[in-house]
Amino acid sequence: MGKTLFDKLWERHVIYGEPGEPQLLYVDLHMIHEVTSPQAFEGLREAGQKVRRPDRTFATMDHNVPTKDIFHITDLVAKKQMDALQKNCQEFGVTLCNNGSERQGIVHMVGPETGLTQPGKIVVCGDSHTATHGAFGALAFGIGTSEVEHVFATQTIWQQKPKSMGIKINGQLPKGVYAKDIILYLIATYGVDFGVGYAVEFLGDTITCLSMEERMTICNMAIEGGAKMGMMAPDKKTYEYVRGREFAPKDITAAIADWQTLPTDADAHFDRVIEVDAAQLVPFVTWGTNPEMGIPVTGQFPQVKDMNDERAYQYMGLSAGQRPADIDLGYVFIGSCTNGRLSYLEEAARIVKGKKVKSGITAMVVPGSRPVRHAAERMGLDKIFKEAGFEWREPGCSMCLGMNPDQVPEGVHCASTSNRNFEGRQGKGARTHLCSPAMAAAAAVTGTFVDVREEMWLDGSN
């Protein structure tokens, strides 16, 4: 019987342990940031240990970074964490994309942009959305602080091998429907726990037609469906994305020859299979307090079925039977490691060009990294956004999680391109609605949610 991409990656990295038991895996790349690394570094210091492979460890500042004035850090806890990362990287010889540096950005963007993220690797980070890197044919997952310390000291990690799931998506995406809608549909349909205990591979002709940026969006949110790992087979698009980047393999021809052996074999077996017809997908918007609570933009909010729904409606200030168009938005956020890449900013700019942000809306665009910000500015996207009334910010995690000054006021509804809509995620009492960048851009100029499949949005006219 053939093997899945997941099986091949797992087997390549097993150092010790029997099948069915926890196994010790070698780690190729360890990404870190300022929030989950301080305790791990301190543990090394107390034990008198060093980082075993500083050359396979890479750091950036993202969660706490202010995006309005990146060097004016008023939060003392944030400043302490950022200062600690700088000190720890210097002491332990770890490369750091420091605040304001040319490579600085959200950790899950820095890896791909520098060429550190490559097919065949195991990539770990003290951040749940590490699954993003799986879009390259890597085995990538988030780890806890104690595990961060273990990887620092040994360049290995103990893991129990999960089961495998194949999500086969075929068909052409309709205009106005995006990668974000694919993953929001999956979570709304199958729940926030459908991937628990599984390593998920997304495959099918819809996936192969997606750009690398779109693929990263889907893998990024695999964790929101309960999967620890989300991945896609590497192909020509993957190879060309990696080629020529700073840390790409020096012998790219040999690397590609190896990467071509990774895709799932035709006769491989998945423990569970989900099939999706992409042609039937529509724009999605979340109404509640987890990503499962989502509906088509033209749909109605569901009837209360349990206490979770009742609490969600109370927190969000909404009720069953209402529609996304009934939501009175106050904020719009375009950014995050889910949707802060260049192609998404291009799409949002296309929609808002020549228009104005509706009165009463606070709208901001936060590029996910400095390279993206510079590229967008060379294209004039910053001018389009600013002329429309958006704030154009410095790179960082920003309003995705509210660990910085970018927060939604209490009780205010926000159209957000981020990955989580938990209670208080974007600020105390903030009401978050997840959607695609196109949906968020259109919402900024209308003040509520509209169907971006309508011709006026597809052609960019008023």
Q: What is the pLDDT of residues 364-403, one digit of tens each?
A: 999 999 999 999 999 999 999 999 999 999 999 999 998 8
| CA-based end-to-end distance of the chain | 56
Q: Facing residues of 414 across strands? A: 331, 432
User: What is residue 460's predicted lDDT score, i.e. its pLDDT?
Assistant: 60
For CA atoms 129, 210, 442, 350, give the dihedral sign.
positive
Amino acid at 128: S
Phi, psi (rounded to 5 degrees) for 191: 95, 165
Total Cβ atoms within 10 A of residue 168: 16
Burial 186-202 (b: 16+ CB within 10 A, else e): bbbebebebbeebbbbb
Q: What is the pLDDT of residues 134-162, one digit of tens each?
A: 999 999 999 999 999 999 999 999 999 99
Average pLDDT, the chain: 96
Chain Cα centroid distance, residue 282 = 21
The rounded distance, in Å, linking the Cα atoms of 357 and 62 is 27
pLDDT of residue 241 exceeding 70, the answer is yes
DSSP E strands in 357-462: the ranges are 362-365, 391-392, 413-416, 431-434
Closest CA to 94 of 59, 138, 47: 59
pTM over 0.85: yes
Per DSSP, the residues of 16-65 read E--TTS-EEEE-SEEEE-TTTSHHHHHHHHHHT---S-GGGEEEE--SS-
| Residues whose CB is less than 8 angstroms from the CB of residue 404 and which lie 6 or more positions away in sequence, other chains included | 63, 64, 65, 66, 67, 75, 78, 396, 397, 398
Q: What is the mean pLDDT of residues 261-283?
A: 98
Cβ burial of 244 (10 Å; 0-12, 13-18, 19+) is exposed
Q: What domains lie within the chain, and their CATH numbers?
A: 5-275 (3.30.499.10), 284-452 (3.30.499.10)
Q: Band the pLDDT of 461: cuts 50, 70, 90.
A: low
